[in-house]
Structure 1
Amino acid sequence: MIQAVIFDMDGLMFDTEALSKKSWLVVGREMKLPITDEILHRVIGMNAARVEQECMAYFGPDFDYHRFRALAADYMSRSFDENGVPVKRGLRELLAFLRKNRYKTAVASSSSRATVEHHLKATGLESYFDTLVCGDMVKQSKPAPDIFLKAAEALGVKPQNCLVLEDSANGIRAAHAAGIPVIMVPDLIEPTNELRQLAWMVCESLCDVLPVLEQQHTAELSGGEEQTDG
């Protein structure tokens, strides 16, 4: 039985992964760095400490990661100031359904708590979540299961009674490692055979997640239970 839904944030709730990619490409040109899809896709879903490790390994010991990160963050901040935080289709309707039917909810994002709180406040969605677990609150980044296990614990729900919504390969692997069923909603990364096997299912958008949960909820109320094993 699903009692709680745990949301990734970037690329799942908000269309911020595409903006992050653009910021990396812009700053990469400025710093004369070869920004490839290989490094971009590798770090999606990781927290800041793990991203730094991956970048240093990829670009070499002379890479000025902190300057790169500051410039990219400034690019994104200016975009948010000018255009707001872009909300993904179907998110508001899904959150309204979960609130109406008394599901517990959490954000489990590799972004910092300050970033998560900013985005939720900017979009007026902070009241929809019971707890936040962020990248600077766990030692091990996705694809380790820590962040999802901590979210389930904070909600007071067993992992097998939670559902994770994710867009990234690292997030899918983390949810699977935590023993939590996961729906993949692809953003920049298309579902591979590996990810399809790890996920309960793949939905094109959050609009498609809502009818899945409505059906699951109806089945549970009637005494049946849909299979959510990955």
Structure 2
Amino acid sequence: MPDELIRTLIVDGDTRLAEKHGSYVDQIPGFAVIGIVHSGAEALEFVSRGQPHLVLLDFLLPDTTGVEVCRTVRFRGSALDIIAVTSASDLATVRAALSYGIAQYLVKPLSLATFRDRLHRFATAHRQLAATSPHHLSQGEVDRALAVLRPPVAPVVDQPKGVSSTTLDSVVAQLRAETVPASAEDIAAALGVSRATARRYLEHLAVHRLAIRTHRYGRSGRPGNLYRWQGA
């Protein structure tokens, strides 16, 4: 799969979210949305004839559950990659999903930065596996591929009053996704928050040495700050 687009099927009972997630995928190089469906029956029919490489699967569908879709896909003998993108977060559902070999489990709502990060990890793991021997993998090759799929655990830092863990996670994911140092304005625009909010969270990361702060001088000669992720 390294030299071709990753053909992706979106399955979500919420038509608005399905279109939103489809637009997210379209913004990520290396992926192509080949279909968007809204029920388990449609998903299984599409998989049988559409040959996607990857399914982004909601687990709360109008006619069945994502677990049932996973079970049917596996019982048909398919090794199709599945990433759960769902608000279902109870332990039983997560365990069942893992037992059917899903690649990742993403809990809604999630930002474009998180979406991009996880799909980049998925693509990297596949490239690594495709570049190895077609017969046998070493333990190190297996470990490296699996490690790529798992994002690093966010470091534990003191969280002052007024700092939301959800917003902090979104800022971290967005900053990690930036390829060049970003300003508070850049992060604010990407996440849909105010510039003041973005700056407060970026400064929080800089204070805890999870982001590097540098200065940029504008046309007025007044300095502005740029931030670059330096955590794990």
So what's the TM-score if we normalise by structure 2?
Answer: 0.36
So what's the TM-score if we normalise by structure 1?
Answer: 0.36
Which entry has the higher C-alpha Rg, 1 or 2? 2
> Quick check: which one's strand share is greater?
2
Higher relative contact order (CA 8 A, sep 6+): 1
> Quick check: which one's helix share is greater?
1
